[in-house]
A and B are shown apart, each in its own frame.
Chain A
Amino acid sequence: MAKSKPKVGIFGLTGCAGDQLQILNCEDQLIPLARQMDIVDWVMASSRNDHTCRLDIAFVEGVVATERDLESLKEIRARTKTLVALGTCAVWGGLPAMHNEIPREVLQREVYHSSPLHFLDTVEALPPTHFVPFEITLPGCPIERHEFLRVAHALLAGAMPEFHMLPVCWECKAKENLCRVVYFQEVCAGAMTRGGCGARCPSHAVACAGCRGPLEEPNYDANITMFADRGISWVEIARKMSQFSAPVWIKQGLEKEVRHERRR
């Protein structure tokens, strides 16, 4: 069957570019993969790009933190068949959305010690999934390479990737780690967080920070009560749980995000 290669674009909005870097980190798998697709628009990795052609698949990393981000996002959506949100920023807001309650002018003043800079036209940081529909969401801070490859290979085969949606606790128990909550009275976000990282942090004796975002419907209240009942202070709980912007999930109305998630 002579099939033309799918046209692919990889884009970064406001973010650290860590997810794009993870794609480059796929090293030995990257060349064979690149041979199967036609990567036409990837500013980070190529100096020759086509910014207007139609795309079969596009990966978008980062949050919408400026008006320009939003424009780019809408343009990408308009020219793409299958849109993949790459990384926790793109799916949930991630670290950039951690302190949305602080006015942007205050942030600018504190960071740059000057009156508002006009080239920093930042708005509240929100995930791209808040603005346009995505076919697939792949969280992670950064994404897991093996998950990216699963998405890419499935799409190349003309299928949607299948993910067994389980919390980090599943992988943590499968590895028989000592539970950070039960044995160490720590704030661990594992039960709320979508697995796939192999319970990386608890496997190194560190509580999960929730970097992959919520699974589907975190029992937020029960988690807080559980930590408070163990004598952990509210300040500590709030600090740990807001690391990966748990309040943003709530403020945005989780239901909407969950719907995106289920559509995958």
Chain B
Amino acid sequence: MQTFRMNASFLPAFMEALKRWGTLVAPVERGAGTYVLQAIDDVSLARPDALRTILPFKKLLLKPRFAMLERRDGGRTEEVFDNDMGPIVYFGAHACDIHALEILDLIYMTDYVDPYYRRNRERLTVVGYGCMPDEYCFCESLGTETVERGFDVFLTPLGDRFLVTVCSARGDDIVRANPELFEPASRADTRDYLKRLQEREQSFSLAMDVTDLPYVLELKREDPVWDEVGKKCLCCGSCSMVCPTCACFNVVDERPELGRAVRARTWDACLYRDYATVAGGHNFRADRADRVRNRYYHKQEAFVREFGKPSCVGCGRCIENCPTGINVVEVFKYVRGEL
């Protein structure tokens, strides 16, 4: 890992330079205080200090809905490349996003490599951007508040300059191709960087105790808390749609017009009733309470068993977006009997 310094006024030039590596995608403002990731040409539209975008970066790897195969009557089934997004430079990734990306890689590229995911993943350039937590962030509790790998370049704002961390060959190329923007980092830069980290550590207001959580959950499977949450949950699936690590999908065959059939893939979630409907119409998670519980157990118990860490990165999106105010941190406090 190498570190450099970049003058803050060079940011637009840096973003312009990034376009050589692909379509520049950055957070832009959608409504007051809400942001979405969007391809931009005009770099002044970027809001890298935006904490969350409504949908996370996963939409840059798998569209919420895309066509996989197509067939015309009398013809052969053809692969369509509806999900191929070409090379993308994802600008403005925070530490939790980069951890979430690593989790998606585990899901989609460990045993069975998902070709749709991989095609976009291999062409994704990740440019990180340092953040300051708000009242929904609890990444610190999950150890995802800092990153040491998984990005190409990472910018940490230090007032009039950035500390620039480079972590990949592509990141190195980016710096080498733009020598006029970077200088070696000085001792003062490192000092200010550490100061900022400390400041950041102290700004977390939300925390979740994850000690032995998988064991606690093992014992609390039948706890009435799940019925309580089930009574409150609308199963709207918003928490899952906005979650950077929720990765389930469905595949449907459709005939949008005469003589043409399409096989499409869409994001899905265990919160939806249809999700657990199997042949014959049986549903093994027909109760809302079972479905909500499944989401929490998958994040904090099943995933830990399989991959050795939880699949929640503490980004706070589900808390911010739940219309009925179900809050993952409170749910686990409740489970532990702390509320």
Contact = CB atoms under 8 A, between A and B. Distances in A.
Genuine A/B complex: yes
Interface of A: 29, 32-33, 36, 146, 149-150, 153-154, 156-157, 162, 164-167, 169-170, 173-174, 176, 178-179, 181-183, 188, 190-192, 215-219, 221-223, 225-226, 229, 262-263
Given A174-B55, A179-B323, A226-B324, 14 more contacts: A33-B258, A165-B273, A173-B55, A176-B53, A176-B55, A179-B238, A182-B320, A217-B273, A217-B288, A218-B234, A219-B231, A219-B233, A222-B231, A263-B281
Contacts of B324: 222, 225-226
B323 A181 contact: yes
Interface residues of B, number: 42
B237 A167 contact: yes
Contact of A162 (B53, B242, B254): B254
Nearest to A172: B238
B86 interface: no
Q: Which DSSP category, helix, strand, loop or mixed, fits chain B's interface?
A: mixed
Contacts of B234: 167, 191-192, 218-219, 222-223, 226
B266 interface: yes
Given A173-B241, A191-B235, A226-B323, A178 B34 contact: yes
B155 interface: no
Contact of A150 (B54, B250, B254, B272): B254
B34 A164 contact: no
Interface in B314-337: 320-325
Interface of B: 30-31, 34, 36, 53-55, 64-65, 231-238, 241-242, 250, 252-258, 266-268, 272-274, 277, 281, 288, 320-325
Contacts of A157: 255
A161 to B, nearest CB: 8
Contacts of B242: 173
7 contacts: A153-B257, A162-B253, A166-B237, A167-B237, A176-B53, A179-B323, A223-B234
Contact of B252 (A33, A153, A162, A174): A162
Contacts of B241: 169-170, 173-174
Nearest to A205: B31
A178 B257 CA distance: 32
A146 B262 CA distance: 14
